[in-house]
Amino acid sequence: MRPFLLEGGSVSQMPVAEGKSVQQTVELLTRKLEMLGAEKQGTFCVDCETYHTAASTLGSQGQAGKLMYVMHNSEYPLSCFALFENGPCLVADTNFDVLMVKLKGFFQSAKASKIETRGTRYQYCDFLVKVGTVTMGPSARGISVEVEYGPCVVASDCWSLLLEFLQSFLGSHTPGAPTVFGNRHDAVYSPADTMVQYMELFNKIRKQQQVPVAGIR
Amino acid sequence: MSGVRAVRISIESACEKQVQEVGLDGTETYLQPLSMSQNLARLAQRIDFSQGSGSEEEEAAGADGDAQDWAGAGSSADQDDEEGLVKFQPSLWPWDSVRNNLRSALTEMCVLYDVLSIVRDKKFMTLDPVSQDALPPKQNPQTLQLISKKKSLAGAAQILLKGAERLTKSVTENQENKLQRDFNSELLRLRQHWKLRKVGDKILGDLSYRSAGSLFPHHGTFEVIKNTDIDLDKKIPEDYCPLDVQIPSDLEGSAYIKVSIQKQAPDIGDLGTVNLFKRPLPKSKPGSPHWQTKLEAAQNVLLCKEIFAQLSREAVQIKSQIPHIVVKNQIISQPFPSLQLSISLCHSSNDKKSQKSATEKQSPEDHLYVLEHNLHLLIREFHKQTLSSIMMPHPASAPFGHKRMRLSGPQAFDKNEINSIQSSEGLLEKIIKQAKHIFLRSRTAATIDSLASRIEDPQIQAHWSNINDVYESSVKVLITSQGYEQICKSIQLQLNIGVEQIRVVHRDGRVITLSHQEQELQDFLLSQMSQHQVHAVQQLAKVMGWQVLSFSNHVGLGPIESIGNASAITVASPNGDYAISVRNGPESGSKIMVQFPRNQCKDLPKSDVLQDSKWNHLRGPFKEVQWNKMEGRNFVYKMELLMSALSPCLL
């Protein structure tokens, strides 16, 4: 398991506002990385599908069903992650998708909820950097930056190192510590932590959907 | 008659039949009436012939009358009458007894006469001598004794023989039983070590490693034979065992895998003709039956065959820059240029021919026993892998495969981890890697050793680690000067010898990667040794109180070295009068110059510029020291002498 940092690359925070498109911003970032000396290592993809509990299983009080996110990460090609917001994270093998089809009666897939990020994977010494474009349907909605530092398994131990590294190519747009590490400082980093961060990022981007920021197109 | 009713009178005849007995229920059992002949016979019995003889008519007539009377009367009454008559007669005739005797004599004479007359005719009667057992002669009792003794002796002998026969029978039976028992106990022991099954009336065993996960198609069956038809009279050989095993002919003898590395490629003609020399069969351990060694040897042959089959299959499949060659019982691969790794299967049956040819060419040093052992380990690992991939129980929903592979999904393994699980490196690739490593290691050792023996000053010490990985080992190289180990330990190198290359970790953390070429390591060590001398001077200067004026590991001036760079140092004496400059190159060797104060140089031409006497304290020109004529056993010692000579006397 490798500590990992996900940069909340929403559009408003990125220099996109200066009049560049998402695509241009991504190019800018990757060019910076390449100039640093990072090596291109193929592509990556993280996708997320939202399920909500079916109406038949809900209580009569009319409470809203919990949302469940089923995610895949190309870094863990044999795994499938199922997460609840603020809830537990289940790690299963890829057969889980088939199981979800069987569980139609309890969990229904939200329409057009699929959100994913695709991009290039870079290796720079011990750092693994993934810069991706977050897309929802046909439109690009943001940028995600993931930085992983291989040799360390406790995130808080290498947080400042990650931050410094991020500053080298993001400039001032560095994020605060992810909330995943908020309450546990010495915990060993796990892949589930990565997926929680991606889920939070996707939710953040989804909420911005209603108020499209200028400069996206 | 007419008027009176007739009275019925039943007339019953008197019982004609005599009643024999009356039963309790009143039934009478009758005697059957006598037949005519029987009656006649009875009557005839009654006639007293002696009474009615022809001499007295009267008597006869009387007798006749009597007879007539008697006929009707009851027999018992007649008898009584007659007795009464007989009693009465003696009183009648006083000479009666005489008469009776005469009469009987007459009768007998008459009879004799009749008989004789009849006999004389030889018509109805003949006289034959009556056969009578003749009495045995006089010696008879002795013979009889002898015969009887003989008889009884024969009887006794027969009994003894019978008994003996029975005894021998039981003895042989015992022996057979014992053999049978031995066979069974041997079978039991065999069963504890080997898989056996019964097919028909045969007992078959399994030599193969199939149950351990082997996929080798050889059936590896052996047959258990009962070896009980041994001649019981002869002495049983010591190694006799009632149980024997028959091994398939292709598994007989001994086999081993030979791995060797040769420097130059052999002639093509030599390919595939590895000598099948026979190693002596391992002596059976005392107490273990000989079938055990036999089976173990056969199993070893089977395993060697499997290893070789696997290796040759991989050799054909794997694409490498220099293709692997498989010829007969040999696989040849080139791990490094002009270096050849040969793996061969040596299988020798027990005939003496192969044994003879073996001893001639055997050269024991080109055996890589470690690799041979590792091949065995690898195939067993391979077996285990195949075994564990099909192992039950298995979750119904999970895909088939290795357990770690199955867990990789739920445990969220990343790409690298999955790759490491899926490493499908074959036996051949692994063994080639190991061979490369072993070769590189031995070559490194040889290089260091040759340098150490060739160059005395400075000294090289190599500390090899005892515990290695199969693909990596490390050695610590120290370069020191004799007598100054404490002050000159600047050069400490850690050499990590891998498969293809050697990584050198310097004491200060620099990492240098050397290729497998021998020359690279040698050059590197030579340059390090030359640097060491300069470092040593620096350390020495510190100890002696000299000042370091300049120091350079890589001097850019002067003649260019073919290996590395020269290094140089300049040190000044404590009072500043003298300076020593040392330039040491790996190839050019060391050059030591001493700078004297100006006032000590007599031949120095008077300068027009430096008129003032204070300039005399400036150091003058350098003069080279004839270093090889200096006293001292090594460079640092010489330097120490030089420094102390140039230092002012403190006294």
Reported as a single tens digit per residue, the pLDDT across B64-101 is 444 444 444 444 444 545 444 555 555 556 778 888 89
Pairwise pLDDT comparison (B596 vs B495), residue with the higher score: B495
Question: Which of B406, B412, B418 has its CB closest to that of A191?
Answer: B412
Q: Three-class SS string for B149-174?
A: HHHHHHHHHHHHHHHHHHHHHHHHHH
Pairwise pLDDT comparison (B109 vs A174), residue with the higher score: B109
What would the two tokens of residue A13 be? 């925070």
Using a CB-CB cut-off of 8 Å, the residues of chain A touching B398 are 93, 95
3 state DSSP class of B390: coil
pLDDT in tens, B415-449: 888 888 776 778 888 888 888 898 899 899 999 99
Q: What is the pLDDT of residue B503?
A: 93
**CB distance from B414 to chain A under 8 Å?**
yes
Please tell me which residue of chain A has the smallest CA distance to B411. A91
Confirm whether B298 is domain-assigned. Answer: yes
| Cβ pairs A/B, distance under 8 A | 40
d(CA A28, CA A20): 10
Sheet strands (E) in chain A: 4-7, 39-53, 67-73, 79-84, 89-93, 107-109, 115-124, 127-136, 139-149
Domain boundary among B358, B384, B410: B384
d(CA B504, CA B80): 162
| Residue contact A190–B410, C-beta within 8 A | no
Going by pLDDT thresholds of 50, 70 and 90, the confidence category of residue B168 is very high
The whole-number average pLDDT for the span B214-228 is: 83
| Residue contact A76–B414, C-beta within 8 A | yes
Q: Is residue A81 scored above 60 in pLDDT?
A: yes
Confirm whether B339 is domain-assigned. Answer: yes
Domain boundary among B335, B358, B384: B384
d(CA B630, CA B463): 33
Which among B346, B496, B375, B363 has a CA at the least distance from the CA of B435? B375
d(CA B242, CA B180): 8
Confirm whether B244 is domain-assigned. Answer: yes
Using a CB-CB cut-off of 8 Å, the residues of chain B touching A93 are 398, 406, 408-410
> pTM here?
0.60
Q: What is the pLDDT of residue A147?
A: 84
**Helix (H) or strand (E) run with residue B496 in it:** strand B491-497
- DSSP secondary structure code for residue B148 in this structure: H
What is the C-alpha end-to-end distance of chain B, expressed in Å?
215
Q: What is the pLDDT of residue B553?
A: 87
Q: Is residue B475 scored above 90 in pLDDT?
A: yes
| Residue contact A192–B418, C-beta within 8 A | no
Measured in angstroms, the CA of B408 and the nearest CA of chain A are apart by 7
Measured in angstroms, the CA of A76 and the nearest CA of chain B are apart by 4
Pairwise pLDDT comparison (B299 vs A64), residue with the higher score: B299
**Per the structure, how many domains does chain B have?**
2
Using a CB-CB cut-off of 8 Å, the residues of chain B touching A95 are 397-398, 409
CA–CA–CA angle B616, B619, B625 (5° rounding): 135
Asked whether the beta carbons of B333 and B315 are under 8 A apart, the reply is: yes
What would the two tokens of residue B157 be? 């002998």
Phi, psi of B286, deg, nearest 5: -60, 135
The whole-number average pLDDT for the span B472-500 is: 88
What would the two tokens of residue B401 be? 């495969």
| Chain B residues 346-405 with a CB less than 8 Å from chain A | 397-398
Confirm whether B404 is domain-assigned. Answer: no
Q: What is the pLDDT of residue B339?
A: 83
- Please give the residue range of the domain that contains residue B539: 529-603+610-644
CA dihedral B297, B302, B307, B309 (to 10 degrees): 140
Q: Which domains does chain A have, with CATH numbers?
A: 7-54+63-207 (2.40.320.10)
Other CB atoms within a 10 A radius of the CB of residue A41 amount to: 14
d(CA A159, CA A176): 10
Confirm whether B380 is domain-assigned. Answer: yes
CA torsion sign for B516, B518, B523, B526 is: positive
- Going by DSSP bridges, is the β-strand pair B330-333/B473-480 parallel, antiparallel, or unpaired? unpaired
**CB distance from B551 to chain A under 8 Å?**
no
Residue B568 forms beta bridges with which residues?
B552, B583
Using a CB-CB cut-off of 8 Å, the residues of chain B touching A2 are 414
Confirm whether B322 is domain-assigned. Answer: yes
d(CA B447, CA B638): 28
This complex has an ipTM of: 0.70
Measured in angstroms, the CA of A63 and the nearest CA of chain B are apart by 32
Pairwise pLDDT comparison (A58 vs A135), residue with the higher score: A135
**CB distance from B410 to chain A under 8 Å?**
yes
**CB distance from B413 to chain A under 8 Å?**
yes
Q: What is the pLDDT of residue B574?
A: 87
Q: What is the pLDDT of residue B110?
A: 93
Helix-, strand-, coil-residue percentages of chain B, each rounded to 5: 45, 20, 40
Q: What is the pLDDT of residue B474?
A: 92
Helix-, strand-, coil-residue percentages of chain A, each rounded to 5: 35, 35, 30
Confirm whether B592 is domain-assigned. Answer: yes
Q: Which of B413, B414, B418 to mutate to probe the A interface, most A CBs <10 Å?
A: B414
Going by pLDDT thresholds of 50, 70 and 90, the confidence category of residue B356 is very low
Q: What is the pLDDT of residue B331?
A: 87
Confirm whether B252 is domain-assigned. Answer: yes
Question: Which of A2, A75, A79 has its CB closest to that of B409?
Answer: A79
Q: Is residue B160 scored above 90 in pLDDT?
A: yes
User: For the packed helices B96-121 and B75-92, what is the interaxial angle rounded to 10 degrees?
Assistant: 110
Using a CB-CB cut-off of 8 Å, the residues of chain A touching B408 are 78-79, 93
